[in-house]
Amino acid sequence: MEDAVPPRTLTLPDGARLLIRQVVPEDAPKLIAGFDELSAQSRIMRFLRAIDRLPDDDVRRYVTPDHHDHEALAAEILPDAPGAPPRPVGIAHWFRYATAPDRAELAVTIVDSAQRRGIGRLLLARLFEIAAARGIRRIEALVHPENRQMAGLLRCFGAVARRDEGLMLYDIVLNAAGGVRERAA
């Protein structure tokens, strides 16, 4: 198991404070609550099919990263009021391919009410930094062809897209410092 990644607090363009931290098993109820906040359309865009409930096996898998072959980060809006709990707004993962250990698959979800605030971009930048430190050089994301928000977000990181069985496969090349190359080859 790799070392823990320290949490980071960042400021969103609207002034809200965002905490990005590693996911822990105790996040399972937050993950389920976040899923319940997603619209039917957002669920299709994220899971590539209609889904009413997040399967228990998926919940367990998402909240138990080993920090080597699977990393997961949570995004939470920090409250202005002292003592109030943070509000979970997103999660992002990469899963290393067993057959290509320098490559990984990406998944990211931001709850509907928090989309278009820059959270996804900050979350992915941190996730890519960690991936590069763990030897990942290429990240792939399978995206619904109508998911323009995700397509735009991935293009911010230099992703190149191609059709793959009716879906879009985005490819992002990371450099060793955690940044992204200008274009994936």
* Residues 104-155: tens digit of each pLDDT: 999 999 999 999 999 999 999 999 999 999 999 999 999 999 999 999 999 9
H helices present in the chain, as ranges = 28-37, 40-47, 56-62, 119-133, 148-156
Q: Would you say residue 178 has pLDDT above 70?
A: no
Q: Would you say residue 157 has pLDDT above 90?
A: yes
Question: In 10 A of CB 111, how many CB atoms?
Answer: 21
Q: Kindly report the pTM of this predicted structure.
A: 0.90
Q: How many residues in the chain?
A: 185
Q: What is the CA radius of gyration of the chain?
A: 16
Domains by residue range for the chain, with CATH:
8-173 (3.40.630.30)
Q: Would you say residue 1 has pLDDT above 50?
A: no
66-77 pLDDT per residue, tens:
999 999 999 999
In contact, 51 and 43? CB cutoff 8 Å: yes
By three-state DSSP, how is residue 16 classified? coil
Packed helices 119-133 and 148-156: angle between N→C axes, nearest 10 degrees: 50
Average pLDDT over residues 86-99: 96
Q: What is the pLDDT of residue 2?
A: 52
Q: What is the pLDDT of residue 80?
A: 87
Spatial CA neighbour of 47 closest among 150, 133, 120, 143: 143
By three-state DSSP, how is residue 130 classified? helix
Q: Which residues lie closer than 8 Å to 25 by C-beta, 6 or more apart?
A: 63, 64
By three-state DSSP, how is residue 85 classified? coil
Q: What is the pLDDT of residue 182?
A: 43
